Amino acid sequence: MSYLFTSESVSEGHPDKVADQISDALIDNFLAFDPESKVACETLVTTGQVILAGEVKSKTYLDVQKIARDVINKIGYTKAEYMFDGSSCGVLSAIHEQSPDINQGVDRQSKEEQGAGDQGMMFGYATVETDNYMPLALDIAHAILITLAEIRRENTQVTYLRPDAKSQVTLEYDDNNQPVRIDAIVVSTQHDDFDDEKIMLEQIRKDIISILIPRVKSKYPKYEHFFNDDIKYHINPTGKFVIGGPHGDTGLTGRKIIVDTYGGKGAHGGGAFSGKDPSKVDRSAAYATRHIAKNLVAAGVCDEVLVQVSYAIGVAQPMGIYVNTYGTAKVKLTDGQIAQKVEAIFDMTPYAIETRFKLRNPIYLETAAYGHFGKPHQTVSKTFTLPDGTAKTMEVELFTWEKLDYTDKVKAAFGI
């Protein structure tokens, strides 16, 4: 029996994503000047106001106000009429020192014995649906908003766009769990005010379908035939969307955990990522399980897989590793036997994860919008500046957990 499956995404200007990006910018700045920093930073954004709160243990001092303002301006909140802009909003910091009771469970004399920063379970997922091993509905939803932001910044063909936006994609799957068509696409975008609401809605619908969607379609040659005239479009279905961003809706760090991961495919352990240094396994182990899942699928062990790992606070070794191939395994092993091999191939202690993926580098701002997974691994140059003017430029690797560097080890272990 065929079925429909839906995933959503939100833009970098969505209030929750504004909060995520500020929190991760703080993480990056702390790690740039003190790689051993322990940080758990939450951000709240609302009309004309940013509130920072959390726990930090670091040797460096930052101008958190400037960092927050720079992020807000880069996103595009640069006009007073938005009722939230980087130059004039208030920034209140309530960041304090990390609890020594928590820290004693993490730090050890030997780094290799570093304990998990908290209890919990984390999941990684991969599928052959797309070239980047991500679920197709989520990937298209991200692509819609990434492209919309590009069009907004070009400010040539479409000149009325504002930073806040959401998208949603519904796919139909056949009896073999293969996507066969796009059933519906929803796009809601913030915009400048129009004199005539009817003309406004017609113009936005026309521009989304004739300018945005063809650009998105070009990114999916394998699924080009999905982008046809049978798609049901819902463009700004509530009508006017002038008031948006943190003025229209308060934003908080960590509220878009499904957008950040797999769009509802697989599973989620419940822990958010942004604002957390890599000693917090909510973040680092979720990256590590994605790496496992992607390498398993790329190596030909299965076509789809979910990997779970779990921890106890202060304990280095995970409580266990679980694997579910959804019946797509290409090797003559049970999922339990596959999990045993995974445990032998991948060291999942917190220190090993931090080291394997170079997680004590300032690499997190780039993860804070349009998902933490499925983006290309790349090396970039980033510059950070202290309040006294001291600048530091670093070459860092982004999305190290997306590398297919374990496929040979996996093939050898599974006899592929």
241 is in an annotated binding site: yes
165 is in an annotated binding site: yes
Question: Is 249 annotated as contributing to ligand binding?
Answer: yes
Give the type of residue at 64: V
Query: 3-state SS of the chain?
Result: CCEEEEEEEECCCCHHHHHHHHHHHHHHHHHHHCCCCEEEEEEEEECCEEEEEEEEECCCCCCHHHHHHHHHHHHCCCCHHHCCCCCCCEEEEEEEECCHHHHHHHCCCCHHHCCECCCEEEEEEEECCCCCCCCHHHHHHHHHHHHHHHHHHHCCCCCCEEEEEEEEEEEEECCCCCEEEEEEEEEEEEECCCCCHHHHHHHHHHHHHHHHHHHHHCCCHHHHHHCCCCCEEEECCCCCCCCCHHHHCCEECCCCHHHHCCCCCCCCCCCCCCCECCCCHHHHHHHHHHHHHHHHHHHCCCCEEEEEEEECECCCCCCEEEEECCCCCCCCCCHHHHHHHHHHHCCCCHHHHHHHCCCCCCCCHHHCCCCCCCCCCEEEEEEEECCCCCEEEEEEEECHHHCCCCHHHHHHHHCC
- Residues 274 and 371: their CA atoms lie apart, in Å, by 11
Q: Which amino acid does the sequence have at 144? A: I
CA distance 282 to 288: 10
Task: Determine if residue 113 is labeled as part of a ligand binding site.
Answer: no
Tokens of 105: 């469970």
Is 14 one of the annotated binding-site residues?
yes
What's the CA gap between 239 and 225, in Å, rounded? 30
Q: Is 256 annotated as a binding residue?
A: yes
276 is in an annotated binding site: yes
Q: Residue 166, annotated ligand binder? A: yes
Task: List phi, psi (to 5°) of 362.
Answer: -80, 80
Mark the binding-site residues for ATP, compressed into ranges: 14, 164-166, 240-241, 249, 255-256, 272, 276
Mark the binding-site residues for L-methionine, compressed into ranges: 55, 98, 249, 280
Mark the binding-site residues for Mg(2+), compressed into ranges: 16
Mark the binding-site residues for K(+), compressed into ranges: 42
Mark the binding-site residues, compressed into ranges: 14, 16, 42, 55, 98, 164-166, 240-241, 249, 255-256, 272, 276, 280
